């Protein structure tokens, strides 16, 4: 089976990638499989910078083509927070604590001002190519309580108006069809013939 290497240590992301790449005939391989001890510091100030950093570091170590994902939640009423700091908004890499922090900060925000979007920058890097990035988004609204148990991160409080469900109430396939990550992967697939 053909493989696609993703420079991530996030199991929720890996599942999202599997839902998107398995139907295309690819096995998804992550850092848990190829570089479990490698830590890549995310020192960039944008999603794109961090995605390139992760993709290039692993591509260089493996001598192979690698895709990386840097993503997060941008809440309008919080001036775009948690943004690039989404994974560690409440200190640790703790999804539950991050959700609580967002909900608490938004306590006073009325329903019509609770708009937000998920953002995803994907970078592709390899030994014999210039790195390339694409960007995908998904619009939604931040709820006052959690709904659903699928997905990861902020999915339980991210309501998708078109589907009348939260991200955590969608199957991985349903999420992939509308998500920031799915949109970015579809863009990458479109642009791939021109960049390689």
Q: Which residues of this chain interact with ligand ITT, rule CB under 6 A?
A: 8-10, 13, 42, 69-73, 86-87, 98, 118, 151-155, 167, 179, 181
Task: List the alpha helices (DSSP H) in the chain.
Answer: 11-21, 31-34, 47-62, 95-105, 172-178, 180-195
Residue 189 in tokens: 């697939």
Q: Which is nearer to ligand ITT, 71 or 194 (CB)?
A: 71
Question: Residue 21: which of ligand ITT, Mg ion, none does it interact with, CB under 5 to 8 A by kind?
Answer: none
- The binding site for substrate comprises 8-13, 71, 152-155, 175, 180-181
Check if the beta carbon of residue 133 is closer than 8 Å to that of residue 192: no
The count of residues in the chain is 196
With H, G, I as helix, E, B as strand and everything else as coil, classify residue 116: strand
With H, G, I as helix, E, B as strand and everything else as coil, classify residue 143: coil
Q: Work out how close the CB of 56 gets to ligand ITT at its nearest, in angstroms, rounded to a whole number.
A: 14
CA 60 from centre of chain: 22
Stretch that binds Mg ion, among 85-93, 138-146, 164-172, 185-193 (CB under 5 A): 85-93
Question: Residue 56: which of Mg ion, ligand ITT, none does it interact with, CB under 5 to 8 A by kind?
Answer: none
Question: Residue 69: which of ligand ITT, Mg ion, none does it interact with, CB under 5 to 8 A by kind?
Answer: ligand ITT
Instruction: Please identify every residue annotated as catalytic.
Output: 70
How many angstroms separate the CA atoms of 68 and 70, rounded? Answer: 7
Question: Residue 15: which of Mg ion, ligand ITT, none does it interact with, CB under 5 to 8 A by kind?
Answer: none
Q: Work out how close the CB of 4 gets to ligand ITT at its nearest, in angstroms, rounded to a whole number.
A: 14
Residue 94 in tokens: 């703790």
Q: Which is nearer to ligand ITT, 10 or 57 (CB)?
A: 10
Check if the beta carbon of residue 147 is closer than 8 Å to that of residue 169: yes
What residues line the site for Mg ion (CB under 5 A)? 87
């Amino acid at each position: 089976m053909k493989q696609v290497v993703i420079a991530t240590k996030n199991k929720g992301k890996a599942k999202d990638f599997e839902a998107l790449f398995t139907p295309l005939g690819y096995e998804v391989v992550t850092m848990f499989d190829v570089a479990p001890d490698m830590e890549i510091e995310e020192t960039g100030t944008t999603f794109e910078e961090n995605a390139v950093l992760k993709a290039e570091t692993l591509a260089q170590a493996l001598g192979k083509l690698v895709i990386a994902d840097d993503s997060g939640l941008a809440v309008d009423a919080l001036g775009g927070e948690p943004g690039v700091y989404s994974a560690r908004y409440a200190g640790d890499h703790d999804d539950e604590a991050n959700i609580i922090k967002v909900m608490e900060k938004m306590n006073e925000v009325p329903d019509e001002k609770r708009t937000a979007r998920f953002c995803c920058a994907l970078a592709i890097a390899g030994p014999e190519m210039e790195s390339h990035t694409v960007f995908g988004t998904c619009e939604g609204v931040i709820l006052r309580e959690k709904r659903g148990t699928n997905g990861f991160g902020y999915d339980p409080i991210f309501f998708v108006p078109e589907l009348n469900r939260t991200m955590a109430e969608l199957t991985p396939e349903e999420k992939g069809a509308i998500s920031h990550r799915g949109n970015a992967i579809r863009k990458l697939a479109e642009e791939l013939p021109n960049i390689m």
